[in-house]
Structure 1
Amino acid sequence: MSETKKKLTLRSAQWFGTQDKNGFMYRSWMKNQGIPDHEFEGKPIIGICNTWSELTPCNAHFRKLAEHVKRGILEAGGFPVEFPVFSNGESNLRPTAMLTRNLASMDVEESIRGNPMDAVVLLVGCDKTTPALLMGAASCDIPTIVVSGGPMLNGKLDGKDIGSGTAVWQLHEAVKAGSITMHQFMAAESGMSRSAGTCNTMGTASTMACMAEALGTTLPHNAAIPAVDSRRYVLAHMSGIRIVEMVREDLRLSKILTREAFENAIRVNAAIGGSTNAVIHLKAIAGRIGVPLELEDWTTVGRGTPTIVDLMPSGRFLMEEFYYAGGLPGVVRRLGEGGLVPHKDALTVNGKSFWENCQDAPVYNDEVIRQLDNPLLADGGICILRGNLAPRGAVLKPSAATPALMQHRGKAVVFEDFEHYKQRILDPDLDVDADSVLVMKNCGPKGYPGMAEVGNMGLPPKLLAQGVKDMVRISDARMSGTAYGTVVLHVAPEAMAGGPLGIVQDGDMITLDCRNGKLDLDVTDEEMQQRLASRAEKQQPSHKTGYQQLYIDHVLQADQGCDFDFLVGSRGAEVPKHSH
């Protein structure tokens, strides 16, 4: 071990390892925290990138989580330095945390590159914190390990389990339908979120925690351990130990985030019934590390994969049961034994292969993690749609959809934006029936801006009162991973960028064909070109200020991951020149 230490060239030595003016100043300033000399003598400096914030309730317990990471780092002979970055929480942040995902990634990237650290531990939880931190770290490519905050405990209402997020959509529709009272609706509020942690459904937070584990960037079981389970803190401690070892092995993120890792993650997303948001986030992470990933990969790799995790919103159970049933390693073992793990030898952060970590994983409950021959859905892969309404693609989540609606033709009921939808959907005279297709425009990356989670439009109250449970809905928006329904999302190009979605009119016929991956507006090519030309003349530029204008000017479309055009690619961790 001593020989390894002698040969190791630490990045932090460029700050602390010289006997000159700069070394003097860097060490001296750090010493005002009570740090003794020997901490600067060749120890790996480990950054702990913390998204703790009381405004991000999913991540509000991260101070304690960070302390357990520090214990592991110190035990392994490293020196921990904790630093904050922008915490983009979906629950409170307006207009949407997606707007600031790229901002957070820039914060992470520049914090890592500009500071004396040899490796980084990413503390993530709420939806966008996981991709944002991975994107920023990928742009620097130093040894990196992810520690998620974990899901909250099961929600409770009337003695039954309810899922965070999913229960909101269900109960709100029930209020509008008149099947429950407003008092009953409000009674669910305190029981839905009763512990620290992220949504306990297979929403975007849990999906991205599973994606981080499937990509190999976490220790096994990171995705599912409940936030308040003591084993979450054990995992944090062990991650602290492991990151120091990763420095000595020079196990950088680019050795983990390979094309093979992304293909494994796509397959896992289908098996867990994961959020459609994973499509955008994985593309953005892949773009930062330089791995080619396209929408078609979700078809070629993911389609045909059974959904075997029976969790809300697609199924019955919640993340507590998922962990007790065996967690993600149990899912991977089931997939692997059925020949459904594309790359068993993909490297993970603990130095073992993806399959080594899962091949002996037990499954304790066949209802929660089902057998391959008894799936929740035979084909749970994200459905990629193309056609004259979505030339660059759109997505649909089969495990959350109504099978009978996945091949459908109906007349469009059009909303020009989200405000127009909110005004019009309540109109008792709205010309709409169960076969209609609800279409919402101008809610994409540039249009909202930030591509808010409004794509799962609530149904017209007059149809809910008739017992209608689902309708085809189409937009350039996203939807929460906790939501459900036959919802077509991420239509690209978006309406605000001149996409065909912007020229749909009330009464137009739309054909959705998930089996063949088609989404078409039933008008002639000539009519479509005339409408597009007319709309282009009327299109007005947005007038925003500050970061929102930067976002509108530089954000890529959904099929490209909604990253900024100038952020794609890994820039490495070369130390900026001294300023002293």
Structure 2
Amino acid sequence: MSTYRSSNWFGKKDKMGFIYRSWMKNQGFPEDLFDGRPVIGICNTWSELTPCNAHLRDIAEVVKRGVYEAGGFPVEFPIMSLGETLLKPTAMLFRNLASMDAEESIRGNPVDGVVLLTGCDKTTPSTLMGAASVDLPTIVVPGGPMLNGRFQGQQIGSGTHVWKFADEMKKGSMTPKDYLFAESCMSRSAGHCMTMGTASTMGCMVESLGMTLSGAAAIPAVDSRKKVLAHLSGRRIVEMVKEDLKMSKILTRQAFENAIKVNAAVGGSTNFIIHLTAIAGRIGVELNLEDFDKLGSRIPLLLNLMPSGKYLMEDFYYAGGLPVIINELKEHLHMDAITVTGKSHAENITDTCSCYNRDVIYPMEQPMIPEAGTAVLKGNLALNGCVIKPSAATPALMQHRGRAVVFETIEDYHARIDDPALDIDETCVMVLKRVGPVGYPGMPEVGNMALPKKLLDKGITDMVRISDGRMSGTAYGTVVLHVSPESAIGGNLALVENGDFIELDVAGRRLHLDVPDEVLQQRRQRWEKDAQLMNRGYVSLYVNHVLQADKGADFDFLVGGSGSEVSRDSH
């Protein structure tokens, strides 16, 4: 009799075994599929409402071929899909919900190993978080980026050029007709953002963690080699089950350190910090905000890719992909860390790490930027920390003191930002409140506030901006994010008033509000907490249990895993 987990369902010889097998047979599965072979769950985040993941139905079929070839029994199941482009108020609000969906779907069903099909940015961390809490053998198949955008003879990047074109429309330097035409030019194939947005960052994250086959991160969604990767992943997960190669054996402290350093080298999204912290919390690895600065901030930027550079993910793949980055960083990485292949990173990239375009991937000796990883700042405005992405910021603004122009809510910002009477100039610091995990709720990607039209008309392209919200990985600018504690729960960001002076010192890792402590105390006594926006359903659960950004914005009751045992078995 099989010792696999699924034998507790399909291996039974009693009445319940009859039921389990019989109902599955209504799909036309033959008898020998229930003979004790590994059952592989294919966790699919496909949805037509998540455009980045709309091709994953096809990918699932390819994975199944590989599973069958290796002697496994593939069973596909859906979970909630999270598309940042359409889902309101923000996909981040539902990341923890999707993780619960993944966790309970995996734990409650007869599967011995799992293939996670991911794409748009929240589907990767949510499925990893859920799977980590169960800790079965697991492999990720990233959906892959779109082909490069092409518009009027130039390459354009998803997200990155949205902000650029929106500013040009506001200034009148781009026509509405061209703006509309650029939509199709930007999104011209299946796949997720082809810039180093959060989706591409998550692809690089899972490969650097060792959770994908080597080279997976950069393969375009429509490249035939994506299907080859999916096919081989289907084969490999069966072997992983036989080897009992669980997630906890791969997701070690060394794996997380590798991911932090690789993220810095590729100019990855600041969202990476929140997601990696949450995944670490689920698998039981100690990881704090300071680790991202200590391990990553001194790593050089090696990848010339939007928004920090000029190329796109398709170019990255043709240049050699992430194995080249890993090879360049080998002196800084734990190259002996085990991966889903059962081999180390060093073994995986042997003979596959040649660089074919040094204008896309720079060597360690001559990097694009010597120190480019995300910087973690603290001060009286962010007692628990906040982050900034230097590779996407303006060097001249990295040390700056300016007058605060405060927007109390995102609605306040939209109502006043283009008012000609707004008292603001390029030396000011824009401050946005109530967009953190609790305040919005869900922590939306609104931290890269568009500049006032009157300043854009002057040719100003960047200003210091501060919020407790997030920013798309496709965005750019001198933007301070994830301020913790957030304003909605009484963090000092809530106490900032128009006219206060704020000091940003990235080199000194400091964010300071130039207001005396006694004045802040007086303001705090007047401060009133907002009424809860929702008092029912999932949003109520979220607001009452979400942790702050520096803790990964997971739910307090989900930190840590519950394992693969079903709590009750009524059968």
TM-score (norm 1): 0.97
What per-residue deviation string (whole Å, max 9, x for no partner) do you get for residues 277-319 of structure 1? Answer: 0000000000000000000001111121000100001100000
Please, which moves more after superposition, 538-547 or 348-357? 538-547
For residues 539 and 61 of structure 1, the distance between their equivalents in structure 2, rounded to whole angstroms, comes to 42
Query: Pick from 551, 556, 567: which aligns with 1:560?
Result: 551
What per-residue deviation string (whole Å, max 9, x for no partner) do you get for residues 513-556 of structure 1? Answer: 00011001001111111112221x45434344311111101100
For residues 527 and 332 of structure 1, the distance between their equivalents in structure 2, rounded to whole angstroms, comes to 50
Unpaired segments of 5 or more residues in structure 1?
1-5
For residues 443 and 302 of structure 1, the distance between their equivalents in structure 2, rounded to whole angstroms, comes to 26
Could you say which residue in structure 1 is the equivalent of 2:271?
A: 277
Contact kept? 1:333, 1:359, Cα under 8 Å: no
The equivalences for 1:168-567 within 5 A come to 168-336=162-330, 339-341=331-333, 343-360=334-351, 361-535=353-527, 537=528, 539-567=530-558
Contact kept? 1:114, 1:576, Cα under 8 Å: no
Q: Find the residue that maps to 1:399 and give its secondary structure.
A: helix
Contact kept? 1:510, 1:520, Cα under 8 Å: yes
Q: CA deviation at 1:176?
A: 1.4
Unpaired segments of 5 or more residues in structure 2?
none
Q: Find the residue that maps to 2:85 and give its secondary structure.
A: coil
Could you say which residue in structure 2 is the equivalent of 1:3?
A: none
Please, which moves more after superposition, 180-189 or 416-425? 180-189
Contact kept? 1:121, 1:146, Cα under 8 Å: yes
Q: CA deviation at 1:182?
A: 2.3
Q: CA deviation at 1:429?
A: 1.1
Contact kept? 2:547, 2:553, Cα under 8 Å: yes
Q: CA deviation at 1:359?
A: 4.5
For residues 14 and 370 of structure 2, the distance between their equivalents in structure 1, rounded to whole angstroms, comes to 65
2:140 matches 1:146: yes
Contact kept? 1:52, 1:62, Cα under 8 Å: yes
For residues 382 and 128 of structure 2, the distance between their equivalents in structure 1, rounded to whole angstroms, comes to 29
Please, which moves more after superposition, 141-150 or 176-185? 176-185
Q: Find the residue that maps to 2:504 and give its secondary structure.
A: strand
Contact kept? 1:178, 1:465, Cα under 8 Å: no
Please, which moves more after superposition, 376-385 or 227-236? 376-385
Q: Find the residue that maps to 1:188 and give its secondary structure.
A: helix
What per-residue deviation string (whole Å, max 9, x for no partner) do you get for residues 157-191 of structure 1? Answer: 10111001111001101111222222222221111
For residues 128 and 355 of structure 1, the distance between their equivalents in structure 2, rounded to whole angstroms, comes to 29
Query: Pick from 59, 72, 77: which aligns with 2:66?
Result: 72
The equivalences for 1:86-125 within 5 A come to 86-125=80-119
Contact kept? 1:317, 1:368, Cα under 8 Å: yes
For residues 570 and 86 of structure 2, the distance between their equivalents in structure 1, rounded to whole angstroms, comes to 38
What per-residue deviation string (whole Å, max 9, x for no partner) do you get for residues 494-527 of structure 1? Answer: 1001101011000100000000110010011111
For residues 153 and 180 of structure 1, the distance between their equivalents in structure 2, rounded to whole angstroms, comes to 24
Could you say which residue in structure 2 is the equivalent of 1:49?
A: 43
For residues 72 and 277 of structure 1, the distance between their equivalents in structure 2, rounded to whole angstroms, comes to 33
TM-score (norm 2): 0.99
2:77 matches 1:83: yes
Q: Find the residue that maps to 1:99 and give its secondary structure.
A: helix
What per-residue deviation string (whole Å, max 9, x for no partner) do you get for residues 198-253 of structure 1? Answer: 00000000000100000000001110000000000000000000000000100000
- One-letter amino acid of the counterpart of residue 375, structure 1: P
For residues 114 and 540 of structure 1, the distance between their equivalents in structure 2, rounded to whole angstroms, comes to 37
Q: Find the residue that maps to 2:347 and give its secondary structure.
A: coil
What per-residue deviation string (whole Å, max 9, x for no partner) do you get for residues 437-456 of structure 1? Answer: 00000000011110000000
For residues 15 and 568 of structure 2, the distance between their equivalents in structure 1, rounded to whole angstroms, comes to 14
- One-letter amino acid of the counterpart of residue 293, structure 2: T
For residues 500 and 514 of structure 2, the distance between their equivalents in structure 1, rounded to whole angstroms, comes to 7
- One-letter amino acid of the counterpart of residue 38, structure 2: P
For residues 319 and 542 of structure 1, the distance between their equivalents in structure 2, rounded to whole angstroms, comes to 39
What per-residue deviation string (whole Å, max 9, x for no partner) do you get for residues 399-442 of structure 1? Answer: 10001101100000000010000011010011111110000000
Contact kept? 2:489, 2:529, Cα under 8 Å: no
Q: Find the residue that maps to 1:201 and give its secondary structure.
A: coil
Number of residue pairs the alignment of both structures matches:
570
Identity of aligned residues (%): 64
What per-residue deviation string (whole Å, max 9, x for no partner) do you get for residues 459-507 of structure 1? Answer: 0000000000100000000010000000000000110011010110001
For residues 378 and 486 of structure 1, the distance between their equivalents in structure 2, rounded to whole angstroms, comes to 18
Could you say which residue in structure 2 is the equivalent of 1:62?
A: 56
Q: CA deviation at 1:355?
A: 2.0
Q: Find the residue that maps to 2:329 and give its secondary structure.
A: helix
For residues 102 and 524 of structure 1, the distance between their equivalents in structure 2, rounded to whole angstroms, comes to 38
Q: Find the residue that maps to 1:80 and give its secondary structure.
A: strand
Q: Find the residue that maps to 1:329 and give its secondary structure.
A: helix
- One-letter amino acid of the counterpart of residue 292, structure 2: W
Q: Find the residue that maps to 1:225 and give its secondary structure.
A: coil
For residues 256 and 431 of structure 1, the distance between their equivalents in structure 2, rounded to whole angstroms, comes to 53
Q: CA deviation at 1:29?
A: 0.8
- One-letter amino acid of the counterpart of residue 18, structure 1: K
**Are the structure 2 counterparts of residues 286 and 538 from structure 1 closer, same or farther at C-alpha, using a change threshold of 3 Å?**
closer
2:8 matches 1:14: yes
